[in-house]
Amino acid sequence: MKVGFIGLGIMGKPMSKNLVKAGHELVVFDFNKDAVNELVAMGAKSAESGKEVAQQCEVVITMVPNSPHVRAAVLGANGVADGAKAGSVVIDMSSIDPTESKAIGAELAKKGIDMLDAPVSGGEPKAIDGTLSVMVGGKKELFDKYYDLLMVMAGSVVYVGELGSGNVAKLANQIVVAVNIAAVSEALTFAKKAGTDPELVYQAIRGGLAGSTVMDAKAPMMLSRNFKPGFRIELHIKDLNNALNAAHAISSPVPLTGQLMEIMQGLKADGFEKEDHSSIVKYYEKIANTTVES
């Protein structure tokens, strides 16, 4: 299948590489020419704009940072909508505000262009090995048509509902992940302050009800002081901001999300926004005057 791909960042680059490896004919666009050249070296074709991508492909995937970037890539000058034919499909795999997914989809529909919102979870490691979790909103027949394409980049692809539902699911995921990391941080800090080895506490509780994928991914990073980003604090701030905006728009209280936003803003103020979100532990270490380390 000939596929357009716009956005070759931390997530988009490995995702697009997996499409090339699977034999898809890829046309790529990004402002980062080094990333574009890397894909071209693998056999992809480069384009000079989103418009040029869409002129060559019936389906265009976008993977960019946030709502304004999606709007610019799709609806802006020389964007996808300027080059796409009626019947084309945009699959936005960015994590954005679901109300914006619906608004962008409505604008595209005026030109006969369909849209799926298909945000991902799993971070860079799962983008590299092609085992992302993908949550999809839009027409069910489009989901069925492009399911196999999405599975090239994923370990699971789940249909959630109408357009915007994919991003609702992603924001729900980000709420759970943030609160879970904070709970692990709080517990390990408590263990250290109590004079008990936090590594042994982690080993003791990980097999019980407290155990989780988040705990097993993030506790070892905290204990080894490895904060190399799989998912940066600044990106989680972006997602929680979208979650707060979307929740407030429908009068759905999210008090824990609000608290985690303030914790992450504190970490940003301390200069840790480029670190992995496991750095949430540093907030607890600061207020408890200790360091979680075996």
For range 134-155, the mean pLDDT: 98
Give me the pLDDT at residue 81, please.
98
- What CATH number does the domain located at 2-162 have? 3.40.50.720
Q: Would you say residue 294 has pLDDT above 80?
A: no
Q: In this model, does residue 32 exceed pLDDT 80? A: yes
When the pLDDT of each residue in the chain is averaged and rounded to a whole number, the result is: 96
Q: Which of 13, 51, 126, 170 is catalytic?
A: 170
For tokens 């989103």, the residue is: 50
CATH of 169-288, one of 2.60.40.1930, 1.20.120.1730, 1.10.1040.10, 3.40.50.11720: 1.10.1040.10
Has residue 185 got a pLDDT over 90? yes
Question: Where, residue-wise, is CATH 1.10.1040.10 in the chain?
Answer: 169-288
Which pLDDT score, from 0 to 100, does residue 124 have? 86
Average pLDDT over residues 164-192: 97
209-253 pLDDT, tens digit each:
999 999 999 999 999 999 998 889 999 999 999 999 999 999 999
What residue spans in the chain does CATH classification 3.40.50.720 cover?
2-162
Would the pLDDT of 115 be above 90?
yes
pLDDT at site 123: 84
What is the structure's pLDDT at 195? 97
170 is catalytic: yes
pTM of the model: 0.90
What local confidence, expressed as pLDDT, does residue 150 receive?
98
Alpha helices in 45-117 (DSSP H): 50-56, 67-75, 80-83, 98-109
Listed in sequence order, the residues at least 6 apart from 124 whose beta carbon sits closer than 8 Å to its beta carbon are 10, 11, 14, 229, 230, 231
List, for residues 187-212, the tens digit of each pLDDT value: 999 999 999 999 999 999 999 999 99
How many angstroms separate the CA atoms of 40 and 26, rounded? 9
pLDDT band at 122 (very low <50, low <70, confident <90, very high): confident
Q: What is the pLDDT of residue 125?
A: 87
- HEC readout, 35-61: HHHHHHHHCCEECCCHHHHHHHCCEEE
